[in-house]
A and B are shown apart, each in its own frame.
Chain A
């Protein structure tokens, strides 16, 4: 269970980083963000931005709210971010900047909706994906 302000803080940092990626077109910064997503998806306790939150931000905010956030949805969102930024990084570094631009723009939309509105991408997409997958003919 997590302090819900941690993932929101992380989403704000992520949004800023992704805007910088879009403006500079830097494949290496895109790669760095992909790594950050991968770490968060693997183990949310080691997520770099969440670590910054705990270390430097949380102490200035007072005690966490009584409502804790389950960590599974946050990890799922990090995994989705990782998938997008893997494509984005490949696009930028392999000389297909339009691919990088589109993938990064989608990741930014998801991160910003999380940061500004607490939007849960997993809640909206997960069931749809399952429905589509179940509808496909099995071989």
Chain B
């Protein structure tokens, strides 16, 4: 097979694969999901999550990260507008032990922590929409207050 044809085929395969990958990512990134595991409260406490705050928006960021800025803006606004919500932004690179303990793979990753210290929602790659974030926050406000007595 002549080299030009090989190059053409490689280019076509790369563009097709990248398109498929990009479409899957676009559909998944920024979705607030229920985490599959429960996190160590000790680790969360080291990052500044305290039991006195009803809902904490714990955001992991890095320097080379444009969607981190968008996530910061939306979280800061929700925290400012909603009673009992606090936004904490952590530089992932300087907290690698906690990053590993919490299974953070990329930035931005946003954890929603309720008053009982449980991570109730998690989103990565892009900020969630404002509406989804507000819904998750109000759910966390209720779930945290219901179980806070029995859980500690």
Say whether A81 faces chain B, with CB atoms less than 8 Å apart. Answer: no
Q: How would you classify the secondary structure of chain B's contact residues: helix, strand, loop or mixed?
A: helix
Say whether B65 faces chain A, with CB atoms less than 8 Å apart. Answer: yes
Say whether B68 faces chain A, with CB atoms less than 8 Å apart. Answer: yes
Of B22, B62, B92, the contact of A117 (CB 8 Å cutoff): B22
Of A70, A97, A131, the contact of B100 (CB 8 Å cutoff): A131
Interface residues on A, range: 35 or more
Nearest-neighbour CB distance to chain B for A61, whole angstroms, equals 20
Of B6, B8, B106, the contact of A127 (CB 8 Å cutoff): B106
Q: In the complex the two chains form, is A119's CB within 8 Å of B14's CB? A: no
Q: In the complex the two chains form, is A126's CB within 8 Å of B25's CB? A: no
Docked CA distance A116–B20 (Å): 11
Docked CA distance A125–B18 (Å): 16
Say whether B107 faces chain A, with CB atoms less than 8 Å apart. Answer: yes
- Residues of chain B with a CB closer than 8 A to A101's CB: 6-7, 10
Q: In the complex the two chains form, is A123's CB within 8 Å of B108's CB? A: yes
Interface residues on B, range: 35 or more
Docked CA distance A127–B104 (Å): 9
Say whether A108 faces chain B, with CB atoms less than 8 Å apart. Answer: yes
Nearest-neighbour CB distance to chain B for A71, whole angstroms, equals 10
Say whether B43 faces chain A, with CB atoms less than 8 Å apart. Answer: no
Q: In the complex the two chains form, is B106's CB within 8 Å of A105's CB? A: no
Docked CA distance A120–B71 (Å): 14
- Residues of chain A with a CB closer than 8 A to B69's CB: 70
Contacts of A37-92 to chain B: CB distance below 8 A:
69-70, 72-73, 75-77
Q: In the complex the two chains form, is B25's CB within 8 Å of A119's CB? A: yes
Say whether A112 faces chain B, with CB atoms less than 8 Å apart. Answer: yes
